[in-house]
Structure 1
Amino acid sequence: MNDVNSGIAGWTPAELVRTEAAALEALAVRLDEAMAETFGRAVELVVRCGEGRGRVVVTGMGKSGIIAQKIAATLSSTGSPALFLHPAEAVHGDLGVLMPGDVVVALSASGETEEILRLLPVLKRKGDALISFCCNLQSTLATASDVVLDVGVEREACGMNLAPTASTTAMLALGDALAIAVSLRKGFRLEDFAELHPGGKLGAILEKRLAKVRDLMHSGEAIPAVGSRTLMTDVIYEMSRKKLGITTVQEDGRLLGVISDGDLRRLLEREGGAALSKTASEAMNAHPRTIGVGELAARALAELEEKKITSLVVVDSESRVEGVLHLHDLWGMELI
């Protein structure tokens, strides 16, 4: 029995994977350098298509067709309406899905795929823009395209250098790059992504990421609060009772400052026993970090981690205290 790790024609599975990795690295270099401007034109075509209510129609035969289906799905899920058109079925009536203003993305390593070439006269007649992913930049498809993107590979990851492997991997990566670049240009947001992914584990994670500060904060009687003239003995009692490691200092519901465990410790180190005779206004931080009630919990977490603090006071536009958000409230929320 042959050992599977011996590979085909002297190649090992690891060498096959390295061949595909090398193809991706070469593609990345082209995107950084020679193909940067061309890729930018492709992004612009897709963005303009969406602005005009057009769709992205992705087509390809065989293995390239399978990659085309995945690219269409990625485009749709990142805010660019897209569909897959089977080129063989297209010439038997499915060309009817093409609408003025659509952009067609055609995948063909050789650029001479018969079924795709048969679509070219119709595409030219309809005036739809054509982007192609080709290995052969002198091919019929490449020369007929408005934008051609080079997915050429040194060799396929196949002992016979025949099976579409490295080239289809390059197509897949390039399609992902196009979809994400377009979504960034469009300003596609986390909220938009969540609307398109309401189900399954991903939907549950997104729901958590979209949690608002109001959903997690301590409010009402749970807010630690003292007045500006409250003595430190009572401040300590309030902080211990509410167990958030902080208390707000308020006047008529408006935030004057906060006293944290750290503030209290520094006061005791500085004043010793005399600290207990101080008032809250003498001990407070008059410039605390705050956040709005409608902000995303993910933003609150980023703020806490950046400033290396454990709590944020939640206030409205007039500095009225609405709640306190503690780092512990955010842990385990899969917000990032």
Structure 2
Amino acid sequence: MNLRALIVAVMLVLAGCATPHPVVEQPPAVVVPGDTWRKVDRDIISASQDASVRVRQYAHDSMESWRNLVRQRTESDFIPWFSSYWTEQWLTMKVTWYKVSNGQAGETPEQRLSIYLQEQYHDRVLTPVASQVDPDLITSRAITFYIQALGMQLQSIPQRYGIPTDQFDRRLNEVPAITLAPPATRSASLYDMIHTDPATLPAYAALVEHIRQASTDVKGRPSDSDISTAAIRSSKKLEAQLAPRGVASAVAAAVGRAAGVMISVGMAGFGAIAHERDRPEMEALLRQNLQGALDAEWRALMENPNTGVLAGVNHLSGNIEGELGKTAALPDEFQPGTPQTPQTDDQAAER
């Protein structure tokens, strides 16, 4: 009985193995029409433009804060320092030294004084302000904010048109975002920027450095030109004072040390009185020059497409929108990734 049951069980198992399993059919691949891809591309362009507008507002507000801080520190620190009597005495000594020593590459006393004043302006104004609001940091943050704003808007596009995620990602991977000179690590696609922390991409670091270097090559730091103007005027004024002071030194040497000290102190007092009389006019002129230079620098940082705080965003959006804009003229059967063969005039006429 047990043997018969075992035989029956074995036969049932063999019969089950012989029964063919139902074949599970894979759903057909989704074919996205070419006109749908063109709509997708237009939506990405629109999302990029919207993200650019938002980031521009952020950059504008941040740079307004920077300009206000620079203006306040210029007023509270640099102008009082530059216009003080004792600064004038110190600068007189420097101009004297510049005249008797040879500058590098034949620099004039005015040029050397200009460099010194620029260093003072950076140390007293720009460096402290940068610890609160830094244009270089605004540049890198603008790129990050643009990518975040763009990425959020791209999330809804595949569902809107019923496009599989893998096909949409493949399309994003075909769109260049960062395009710098070789090697390949200096380039990144839209997919790379959206799905990766930009700060971890070598191409992102290369872009930020490229903008920084371009800004350095174009011009110096804020207000350098007007500081140079102030240096030239100051140098001429200080040089004019050297001759009378040389006469005072000769008189002091002739009448003796004690009298010489009295003469020097007396001349210093007279110079201080004269200086304070002229100081308001000097400060007003310097304030006007530096304010004009600050406004010009602010406009350059906001509007220069290659060196301003939006240079990185301009690079990204220009590449993305430029690439996607090409599909507007392609035929309906266009599929991303499919090479397009240019038509001859005769072929176009036959169509």
TM-score with structure 2 setting the length: 0.21
TM-score with structure 1 setting the length: 0.21
- Tell me which protein shows more helix as a share of its residues: 2
Query: Which entry has the higher C-alpha Rg, 1 or 2?
Result: 2
